[in-house]
Amino acid sequence: MALHRMQRLINDLLVYARAGMQGGELTAVDCETVLRQTLHDLQMAIMENEAEVTHDPLPTVRGNAVQLGRVFQNLIDNALKFRGAAPPRVHISARREGAQ
């Protein structure tokens, strides 16, 4: 069990390191669409953990859809991995601060 957890941690760290090295063109990214795909990809894990994932209306931002998808995936995956006794509850929202 500990070996499996350590391997997942190493894999997650490698994904994080690769994300920092990837450039790519910034385009308009619909966060709702990216989150919907992420939830679809994680559907089985969410159901198995009896997790609840909710979100406020999300904006379209200038960025990289693949990297944003990884952010959503890591957020939800971490909630599933590092949970207490209660089923995980994740809420995703965004807010504007000045020009950002």
Task: Give the SS3 label for residue 91.
Answer: strand
* Confidence label for 55 from pLDDT (cuts 50, 70 and 90): very high
pLDDT value of residue 19: 59
> Within a 10 A sphere around the Cβ of 74, how many other Cβ atoms?
16
Q: Please give the domain boundaries of the chain with CATH numbers for all domains.
A: 25-100 (3.30.565.10)
Half-sphere exposure (CA, 13 Å, Cβ side) for 11? 10
Mean pLDDT of the chain: 86
pLDDT value of residue 29: 95
pLDDT value of residue 85: 93
pTM: 0.74
Tokens of 38: 């992420």
Q: What is the percent of the chain where pLDDT is above 70?
A: 76
